[in-house]
Amino acid sequence: MARKSVLENCDILIVGGGMAGTGATFEARHWGRDLKIVCVEKANIDRSGAVAQGLYAINCYMGMQWGENQPEDHVRYARNDLMGLVREDLGYDMARHVDSAVHMFDEWGLPMMRNKETGRYLREGKWQIMIHGESYKPIVAEAAKKSADKIYNRIMITHLLMDETKENRVGGAVGFNMRTGDYHVFRAKTVIVAAGGASHIFKPRAVGEGMGRTWYAPWSNGSAYALPIAVGAKMTQMENRIVLCRFKDGYGPVGAYFLHLKTYTQNANGENYEKKWYEKTKELVGEYIDHHPTPTCLRNHAFIQEVMAGGGPIHMVTKEAFQDPHLETVGWENFLGMTVGQAVVWASQNIDPKYTNPELTTSEPYVMGSHATCSGAWVSGPEDISPPEYFWGYNRMMTVEGLFGAGDTVGGSAHKFSSGSFTEGRLAAKAAVKYIQEEKANDIKVSDKQCEDFKKIIFKPLDNYTVGRNEITGGTVSPSYILPIQGLQRLQKIMDEYVGGITYNYMTNENTLKKGLELLDWLQEDLENVGAEDYHQLMRAWELKHRTLTSQCVTEHTLFRQETRWPGYYYRGDYMKLDDENWHCLTLSRRDPKTGKFTMEKAPVYHIVDEKEKKEAS
Ligand SMILES: Cc1cc2nc3c(=O)[nH]c(=O)nc-3n(C[C@H](O)[C@H](O)[C@H](O)COP(=O)(O)OP(=O)(O)OC[C@H]3O[C@@H](n4cnc5c(N)ncnc54)[C@H](O)[C@@H]3O)c2cc1C
DSSP string for 381-446:
--TTT--GGG-SSSTTB-SSBTEEE-GGGB-S----HHHHHHHHHHHHHHHHHHHHHTTTTTT---
Q: Does residue 210 surpass a pLDDT of 80? A: no
Q: Could you write out the DSSP letters of every residue in 358-376? A: PBEEEPPPBB-SSSSS--E
Q: Which atom of ligand 1 is nearest to the CA of 50?
A: 30
Q: What is the pLDDT of residues 537-581, one digit of tens each?
A: 999 999 999 999 999 999 999 999 999 999 999 999 999 999 999
- CA 52 to centroid of chain Cα atoms: 14
CA angle 575, 581, 584 (to 5 degrees): 85
pLDDT higher than threshold 70 for residue 617? no
Give CA 503 to chain center in angstroms: 23
CB 132 within 8 A of CB 337: yes
Distance from Cα 105 to the centre of ligand 1, integer Å: 17
Output phi, psi for 231, to 5 deg. Answer: -100, 15
Mutation choice for ligand 1 from 55, 200, 296, 363, CB with most ligand atoms inside 8 A = 55
Q: Looking at residue 618, what is its pLDDT?
A: 64
Query: Which residue, by CA, sits nearest to atom 30 of ligand 1?
Result: 49
CA 254–ligand 1 middle distance (angstroms): 18
pLDDT at 2 exceeding the cut of 90? no
In angstroms, what is the span from residue 580 Cα to ligand 1's centroid? 32
The predicted structure's pLDDT at residue 31: 98
Closest atom of ligand 1 to CA, residue 18: 31
DSSP state of 497: H
pLDDT of residue 216: 81
pLDDT tens, residue by residue, 374-410: 999 999 999 999 999 999 999 999 999 999 999 999 9
Count other C-beta atoms under 10 Å from residue 291's C-beta: 15
Instruction: Look at residue 611 in the predicted model and tell me its pLDDT.
Output: 74
Neighbours of 553 (CB within 10 A): 25
SS3 185: strand
pLDDT band at 613 (very low <50, low <70, confident <90, very high): low
Residues with CB under 6 A from ligand 1: 15-21, 40-43, 48-51, 55-59, 156-157, 194-196, 215-217, 219-220, 223, 253, 370-371, 407-408, 417-419, 421
Per-residue CA distances from 598 to 161, 239, 517, 588, 595 (Å): 21, 14, 11, 10, 9
pLDDT tens-digit readout, 241-281: 999 999 999 898 888 898 888 999 999 999 999 999 999 99
Identify the three-state secondary structure at position 321: helix
Read off the pTM.
0.97
Residue 513's identity, in one-letter code, is L
Q: Yes or no: say if 537 and 461 are a contact pair by the CB < 8 Å rule.
A: yes
Q: Which atom of ligand 1 is nearest to the CA of 56?
A: 8
Instruction: Over range 226-236, report the average pLDDT.
Output: 98
At residue 339 the predicted structure's pLDDT band, cuts being 50, 70 and 90, is confident
% of the chain at pLDDT higher than 90 = 90
Which residue puts its alpha carbon closest to atom 53 of ligand 1?
216
CA–CA gap between residue 351 and residue 494 (Å, rounded): 35
Tell me how many degrees the CA angle 500-503-508 measures, rounded to the nearest 5.
Answer: 25
Q: What are the CA-CA distances from residue 504 to residues 235, 349, 494, 495, 523 (Å)?
A: 27, 27, 12, 11, 22
3-state class of 109 per DSSP? coil
Segment (H or E) for 280 = helix 278-285
Whole-number Å distance between alpha carbons of 541 and 42 = 14
Q: Stretch 332-352: mean pLDDT, rounded?
A: 87
| Ligand 1 closest atom vs CA 420 | 19
Q: What is the mean pLDDT of the chain?
A: 95
How close is the Cα of 229 to the center of ligand 1, in Å?
Answer: 20
pLDDT over threshold 70, residue 182:
yes
Judge whether residue 224 has pLDDT over 70.
Answer: yes
Other Cβ atoms within 10 Å of 507 Cβ, number: 16
Torsion of CA 249, 254, 256, 260, to 10 degrees: 130
* Distance from Cα 112 to the centre of ligand 1, integer Å: 20
CA dihedral 338, 341, 342, 345 (to 10 degrees): 170
Residue type for position 170: V
- Confirm if 255 and 580 have CB atoms less than 8 A apart: no
E strands of 59-197, at which residues? 129-133, 150-152, 155-162, 170-177, 183-193
Q: What is the 3-state secondary structure (H, E, C) of 4-66?
A: CEEEEEEEEEEECCCHHHHHHHHHHHHHCCCCCEEEECCCCHHHCCCCCCCEEEECCCCCHHH
Check residue 197 and give left, alpha or beta (phi > 0: left; psi -120 to 50: alpha). Answer: beta
Instruction: Give pLDDT tens digits for 291-333.
Output: 999 999 999 999 999 999 999 999 999 999 999 999 999 898 8
**CA–CA distance, 12 with 37 (Å, rounded to integer):** 5
Q: How far is the CA of 49 from the centre of ligand 1 (A)?
A: 4
What are the E-state strand segments in 280-357?
315-317
Of residues 332, 320, 343, the one with CA closest to residue 251: 343
Ligand 1 atom closest to 417 (CA) = 19
CA 92 to centroid of ligand 1, rounded, Å: 21
Ligand 1 atom at minimal distance to the Cα of residue 421: 23
Question: What phi and psi values does residue 616 have, to the nearest 5 degrees?
Answer: -60, -40
Q: Could you tell me if residue 3 is left (phi over 0), alpha (psi between -120 and 50 degrees) or otherwise beta? A: beta
Of all residues in the chain, what percent carry a pLDDT higher than 70? 99
The rounded distance, in Å, linking the Cα atoms of 610 and 195 is 33
Contact between 476 and 483 (Cβ < 8 Å): yes
Cα dihedral across residues 488, 494, 500, 501: positive or negative = positive
- Provide the 3-class DSSP secondary structure of residue 599: strand
**Spatial separation of the C-alpha atoms in residues 300 and 314, rounded to whole Å:** 11
Among 14, 15, 19, 25, say which to mutate for ligand 1: greatest number of ligand atoms within 8 Å of CB: 19
| 347 to 231, 246, 332, 350, 413: CA distances (angstroms) | 47, 17, 12, 5, 38
Tens digit of pLDDT for each residue in 515-549? 999 999 999 999 999 999 999 999 999 999 999 99
Q: Which of 417, 426, 544, 546 to mutate to test the pocket of ligand 1 (most atoms within 8 A of CB)?
A: 417
Helices 340-348 + 325-336 axis angle, to 10: 110
* SS3 (DSSP) at 276: helix
Per-residue model confidence (pLDDT) at position 144:
98
Phi, psi of 612 (to 5 degrees): -60, -45
Ligand 1: nearest atom to the Cα of 546: 41
Calculate how far, in angstroms, residue 59's C-alpha sits from the geometric centre of ligand 1: 13
